[in-house]
């Protein structure tokens, strides 16, 4: 089960775009220090000469693109290699060679944020949770749709993702983390929700791993379980909204949402704005 699925060659314009997971163990070839925290991150840029020496291909697919530069690398708990790379000003995250997330394919992340706050534009002191930082598109969309007195909790499982947003990805959406409305939590979003007082959140936007079917971190599936969904409902105010990103339709997950007392709407989501058809699903639960 891959994240974000494949696009047609026409839609992807030569790219095969998948989507993301999370990682929990980092493999060290260098150390990166920020705000007093050390992340074990492999940071390097591969020149064309370096690629030839290491046997790596340039990855330009004959499209005349610049070589893809590897910026950072971590290892998941399962030992999978997760890489942040840049090519022609676009960023991607790969898992064992499969592209999981791409900065030119973020329409579903923007829609996730839009749906999460569309009913809160006039709500005073709204509080929401963004589960999964990723490339920061959902967070940026949420901040744009809320008032200055809002509180936006952001839960990201690993420090490496935060480091990447503050460094390599700062020009993308990384500055959103500096917004005074943001409260960053480095840890499991499911645990944060479980520990929240009843009625804490007006909305939850959850884009964890591959959706209901975990791809990278097996623990990510907990939030989609029966117990996890009851915890989500408990953390919401009456009439609150939770939105779950999913790589595909999932009848079993939709049934669990309904059994937890939610009214559910499955909203199709595109990979990028110009895509001819939707590829993913956002489950809106109220």
Task: Check whether 42 has a pLDDT greater than 60.
Answer: no
Range 35-43 average pLDDT: 36
* 83, 87, 91, 94 alpha-carbon torsion, rounded to 10°: -30
Residue 217: its pLDDT value, please?
A: 60
Residue 78: its pLDDT value, please?
A: 75
Task: Check whether 63 has a pLDDT greater than 50.
Answer: yes
* 252, 256, 262, 268 alpha-carbon torsion, rounded to 10°: -20
pLDDT top residue among 61 and 221:
221
Q: How many CB atoms lie within 10 A of CB 174?
A: 21
Residue 216: its pLDDT value, please?
A: 56
The dotted CATH code for 107-285 is 3.40.50.150
Q: Which residues of 53-83 are buried (b: 16+ CB within 10 A; e: fewer)?
A: eeeeeebeeeeeeebbbbbbbbbbeeebebb
Segment of 60-74, 179-193, 207-221 carrying the highest mean pLDDT: 179-193
In the chain, where are the structural domains located? 9-102, 107-285
Pairing of strands 98-102, 127-131: unpaired
- Kindly report, residue by residue over 119-175, the tens digit of the pLDDT: 999 999 999 999 999 999 999 999 999 999 999 999 988 778 889 899 999 999 999
Compute and round to an integer the Cα radius of gyration of the chain: 19
């Amino acid at each position: 089960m891959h994240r974000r699925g494949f696009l047609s060659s026409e839609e992807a314009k030569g790219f095969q775009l998948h989507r993301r997971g999370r990682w929990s163990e980092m493999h060290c070839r260098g150390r990166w220090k920020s705000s007093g925290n050390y992340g074990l991150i492999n940071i390097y840029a591969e020149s064309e000469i370096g690629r030839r020496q290491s046997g790596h291909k340039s990855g330009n697919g004959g499209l005349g693109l610049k070589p893809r530069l590897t910026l950072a690398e971590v290892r998941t708990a399962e030992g999978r290699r997760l890489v942040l790379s840049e090519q022609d000003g676009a960023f991607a995250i790969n898992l064992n060679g499969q592209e999981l997330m791409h900065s030119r394919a973020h329409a579903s992340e923007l829609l996730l944020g839009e749906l999460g706050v569309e009913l809160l534009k006039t709500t005073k002191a709204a509080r929401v949770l963004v589960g999964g930082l990723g490339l920061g598109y959902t967070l940026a969309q949420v901040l744009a749709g809320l008032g200055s007195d809002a509180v936006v909790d952001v839960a990201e499982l690993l420090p490496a993702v935060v480091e990447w947003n503050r460094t390599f990805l700062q020009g993308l959406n990384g500055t959103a983390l500096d917004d005074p409305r943001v409260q960053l939590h480095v840890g499991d979003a499911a645990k944060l929700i479980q520990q929240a007082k009843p009625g804490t959140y007006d909305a939850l936007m959850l884009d964890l791993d591959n959706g209901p079917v975990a791809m990278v971190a097996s623990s990510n599936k907990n939030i989609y379980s029966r117990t996890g969904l009851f915890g989500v409902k408990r953390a919401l105010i009456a009439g609150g909204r939770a939105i779950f990103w999913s790589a595909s339709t999932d009848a079993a997950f939709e049934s669990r949402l309904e059994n937890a007392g939610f009214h559910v709407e499955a909203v199709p989501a595109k990979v990028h704005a110009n895509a001819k058809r939707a590829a993913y699903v956002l489950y809106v639960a109220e």
